[in-house]
A and B are shown apart, each in its own frame.
Chain A
């Protein structure tokens, strides 16, 4: 039970060239907007026809340009939740859910399964309401219910929380998380939010410019994103350009000093990634110590942010200190910051500003 995708699709001046496999778990596709992640879902669903390639779901070929196979969306058995939920506006919640049950020929059974789903999704009270009268969370549950009753082999959620108010998001995220973990087949979650990807999915892949940059177990991808773009997308604030020295040492071009890394440094290493939370104040003689000057400080509800630079002002470091209480006082400006060798991530790729395409 798995999904294999290997597709190419040109779209104006953008080329999607996605190649990945997803097993029977929840997999996140993380990427900035316009990176091709929604397009990938649409190709799998059969809404968009790739120029070339192959899509196989649970051993069943959905698309194969060489064999001339291109199943219509109706026969693919995919469940796709759109960003706007795509509920039919003229139908009630119940009628919308019944649309997912057209394959069930027995009217008694169809009614029974609809009632069951209404209960499971806590929609009984609004069963006769139209989508416009529902809250954002109820709309999403209706859309999910409509998909689930159709018993798809794969569940694909396209930015499921983007249409929700932030206070609703956490509540709904819990429900979607339970749904993702209980879903028997492959589940894909498209998001541009790294926290969602981390919390909800065991596996993940990072997409950029129409390509899959990095795929693997979510925790491993976060610990070792490998490329500058992937590191940025996983929320790494500090990307310091460097030159590899030996197997575990790099030379920082900004600070003109050497850093020791626990991970092996590849020959094409161009930068070191350091997460803002992994930095700690230290004495100047400590290993990996970087002398800094604090440029600005800002307070968040749960952490302090300090932006520091190298003494000559060249390179920047972003340091985050978690607060134990809301009233915790601002830590003293440190003279040096350092990171443990285990937390330093060797990266390849351009260390400049993020690309426009993200």
Chain B
């Protein structure tokens, strides 16, 4: 059995999850501070990819990153890099689709943050950066952890936009999701089932790990 789709899916999910972690947190942090009107508009724009069909996301990505499209052309000419139909193309798709999950859960967590904690830290002379990483983030870690896991799971399961921007090339752009479809389409039902089981196993392990982590942290708080 060729394990390439597993390896490819994992690296795509991990890289896009890491990117979404920072993007989502910083977007949530700064947008939570904005006036209500602007916040409402940005909220809609940033959450859209969550509700749009992934093919629509793929369409927009191709519109920007395609070989003859503005961004794609720019990268081709200046760096000699192709943005579509490569393994890392799927990262763009995963980031866009997973971002709203991280952003929304992180924002909910930040909004429930008790500002007096930050204020008292400021009067103690602690820098705002220190406060962010040592007070705000730990306080909001439940939400942030949940957002990260959701983002990772979503990135791992990304199919629609990925199939449009990265396509399916065995050994190159194949991911678990695209492989399952491809094998099913070519009547290799047993092969498809193998990958389905692999996917379920990974997802179950991730969710289980998070549950354990949360339980341990809660126990730690009570001590």
Query: Which A residues are within 8 Å of any B CB, using their own CB?
Result: 42, 45-47, 72-76, 78-80, 82, 84, 86, 88-90, 99-100, 102-103, 129-130, 132-133, 143, 146-147, 150, 152
Q: Which of B9-17, B121-129, B163-171, B203-211 is the contact stretch?
A: B121-129
Query: Which B residues are within 8 Å of any A CB, using their own CB?
Result: 114, 116-117, 119-127, 130, 134-135, 138-139, 220-223
CA distance A132 to B125 in the complex (A): 24
Q: Are B116 and A79 in contact (CB under 8 A)?
A: no
Smallest Cβ-Cβ distance to B127: which chain A residue: A74
Q: Are A84 and B116 in contact (CB under 8 A)?
A: yes
Q: Are A130 and B221 in contact (CB under 8 A)?
A: yes
Q: Are A102 and B124 in contact (CB under 8 A)?
A: yes
* Best-surrounded residue of B116, B121, B125 (most CB of chain A within 10 A): B125
Contact of A80 among B120, B125, B223 (CB under 8 A): B120
Q: Are A132 and B119 in contact (CB under 8 A)?
A: no
Q: A100 CB to closest chain B CB, in angstroms?
A: 5
A-B pair number, CB within 8 angstroms: 73
Q: B113 CB to closest chain A CB, in angstroms?
A: 11
List, in ascending order, chain A residues with CB within 8 A of B125's CB.
74-75, 100, 102-103, 150
Query: Which 4 pairs across A and B sit closest by C-beta, in order of nearness?
Result: A86-B120, A73-B122, A86-B116, A90-B138
Q: A151 CB to closest chain B CB, in angstroms?
A: 10
Q: Are A99 and B124 in contact (CB under 8 A)?
A: yes
Q: B80 CB to closest chain A CB, in angstroms?
A: 47
Contact of B221 among A76, A82, A90 (CB under 8 A): A90
* Best-surrounded residue of B114, B122, B223 (most CB of chain A within 10 A): B122
Q: Are A132 and B222 in contact (CB under 8 A)?
A: yes
Q: Are A80 and B139 in contact (CB under 8 A)?
A: no
Contact of A99 among B119, B126, B220 (CB under 8 A): B126
Q: Are B119 and A100 in contact (CB under 8 A)?
A: no
Given contacts A78-B123, A146-B124, contact A90 B139 (CB under 8 A): yes
Smallest Cβ-Cβ distance to A76: which chain B residue: B123
CA distance A130 to B138 in the complex (A): 14
Contact of A86 among B119, B220, B221 (CB under 8 A): B119
List, in ascending order, chain B residues with CB within 8 A of A133's CB.
222-223
CA distance A45 to B116 in the complex (A): 12
Q: Are B124 and A150 in contact (CB under 8 A)?
A: yes
Q: Are A80 and B135 in contact (CB under 8 A)?
A: no
List, in ascending order, chain A residues with CB within 8 A of B223's CB.
129-130, 133
* Best-surrounded residue of B120, B121, B139, B220 (most CB of chain A within 10 A): B120
Q: Are A72 and B124 in contact (CB under 8 A)?
A: no
CA distance A103 to B130 in the complex (A): 13
List, in ascending order, chain A residues with CB within 8 A of B120's CB.
80, 82, 86, 143
CA distance A102 to B126 in the complex (A): 7
List, in ascending order, chain B residues with CB within 8 A of A132's CB.
221-222
List, in ascending order, chain B residues with CB within 8 A of A72's CB.
122
CA distance A89 to B122 in the complex (A): 16
List, in ascending order, chain A residues with CB within 8 A of B127's CB.
74
List, in ascending order, chain B residues with CB within 8 A of A75's CB.
125
Besides A86-B117, A88-B134, A133-B222, 5 other A-B contacts (C-beta < 8 A): A74-B125, A80-B120, A88-B139, A102-B130, A130-B223
Q: B128 CB to closest chain A CB, in angstroms?
A: 8
Q: Are B121 and A45 in contact (CB under 8 A)?
A: no
CA distance A271 to B80 in the complex (A): 88
CA distance A150 to B221 in the complex (A): 26
Given contacts A132-B221, A133-B223, contact A45 B117 (CB under 8 A): no
Q: Are A79 and B121 in contact (CB under 8 A)?
A: no
CA distance A86 to B134 in the complex (A): 14
* Best-surrounded residue of A73, A75, A150 (most CB of chain B within 10 A): A73
CA distance A75 to B123 in the complex (A): 8
Q: Are A45 and B126 in contact (CB under 8 A)?
A: no
Q: Are A47 and B139 in contact (CB under 8 A)?
A: no
Q: A40 CB to closest chain B CB, in angstroms?
A: 15
CA distance A45 to B119 in the complex (A): 9
Q: A189 CB to closest chain B CB, in angstroms?
A: 16
List, in ascending order, chain B residues with CB within 8 A of A129's CB.
223
List, in ascending order, chain B residues with CB within 8 A of A79's CB.
123
Q: Are B139 and A89 in contact (CB under 8 A)?
A: yes
Q: Are A88 and B135 in contact (CB under 8 A)?
A: yes
Q: Are A45 and B123 in contact (CB under 8 A)?
A: yes
List, in ascending order, chain A residues with CB within 8 A of B119's CB.
42, 45, 47, 73, 80, 82, 86
List, in ascending order, chain A residues with CB within 8 A of B221's CB.
89-90, 130, 132
List, in ascending order, chain B residues with CB within 8 A of A45's CB.
119, 122-123
CA distance A80 to B124 in the complex (A): 9
